[in-house]
């Protein structure tokens, strides 16, 4: 899970380490935008760095992270998916090309102009993080277990 979350975070170019902030120091515009997009979300944990503001929470039993730039504007959101929530077309491709692998976890990365899926799979020989954008599956990273 850690590798997959890191992969999703790299997509939004957030390599700085996070420093937890109390809500009073979080950008008010980011909070307003968050409340408009995710009305009713509770248990929100806000994190800020010199590059972004992040809201982490659980909604509808899904772990989500929403990122805002320093102006408080939405950048992207990541949502952890259950295996049965992976789109059927992607599952079909996985069954063909990675039939001897098991899905460990999956995330959806969504920005204004892009929806990408990161899917972590493994078999006895390797761990692979797959990236699917516009229906095209590619290897994002691969690690041998030996």
Same domain flag for 50 and 85: no
Same domain flag for 8 and 70: yes
Per the structure, how many domains does the chain have? 2
Same domain flag for 15 and 31: yes
Which one, of 15, 6, 11, 14, lies nearest residue 116 by Cα? 11
For each of the chain's 146 residues, which pLDDT tens digit applies? 445 544 554 444 333 333 344 444 567 889 889 999 998 788 899 988 888 999 999 988 889 999 999 889 999 999 999 999 999 999 999 999 999 999 999 999 999 899 999 999 999 999 999 999 999 999 999 999 87
Distance CA(97)–CA(15), nearest Å, equals: 31
In this predicted structure, what is the pLDDT of residue 9? 46
Give residue 84's region: left, alpha or beta (phi > 0; psi -120 to 50). alpha
Distance CA(62)–CA(79), nearest Å, equals: 7
Boundary-marking domain end, from 75, 100, 120:
75
Same domain flag for 87 and 69: no
Same domain flag for 117 and 135: yes
In this predicted structure, what is the pLDDT of residue 129? 97
Which one, of 4, 24, 14, lies nearest residue 117 by Cα? 4
Residue 102 belongs to domain with CATH number:
3.10.450.40
Q: Please state the separation of Cα 125 from the chain's center in Å.
A: 25
In this predicted structure, what is the pLDDT of residue 133? 95
Boundary-marking domain end, from 28, 59, 75:
75
Give me the domain span that covers residue 89: 81-144
Cβ pair 93, 117 in contact under 8 A: no
Q: Please state the separation of Cα 42 from the chain's center in Å.
A: 19
Q: Which pLDDT tens digit goes with each residue over 15-51? A: 333 334 444 456 788 988 999 999 878 889 998 888 8
pTM of the predicted structure, to 2 decimals? 0.77
Same domain flag for 91 and 32: no
Q: What length does the chain have?
A: 146
Q: Which 8-state DSSP code applies to residue 18?
A: P
Same domain flag for 67 and 109: no
């Amino acid at each position: 899970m850690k590798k997959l979350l890191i992969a999703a975070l790299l997509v939004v170019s957030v390599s700085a380490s996070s420093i937890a902030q109390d809500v009073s120091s979080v950008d008010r515009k980011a909070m307003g935008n968050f409340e408009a997009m995710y009305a009713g979300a509770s248990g929100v944990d806000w994190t800020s760095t010199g590059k972004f503001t992040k809201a982490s929470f659980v909604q509808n039993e899904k772990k989500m992270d929403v990122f805002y730039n320093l102006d408080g504007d939405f950048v992207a959101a990541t949502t952890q998916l259950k295996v049965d929530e992976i789109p059927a077309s992607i599952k079909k491709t996985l069954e063909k090309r990675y039939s001897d692998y098991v899905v460990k976890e999956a995330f959806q990365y969504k920005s204004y102009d892009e929806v990408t899926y990161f899917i972590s799979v493994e078999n006895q020989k390797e761990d692979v993080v797959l990236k699917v954008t516009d229906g095209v599956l590619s290897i994002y990273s691969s690690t041998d277990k030996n």
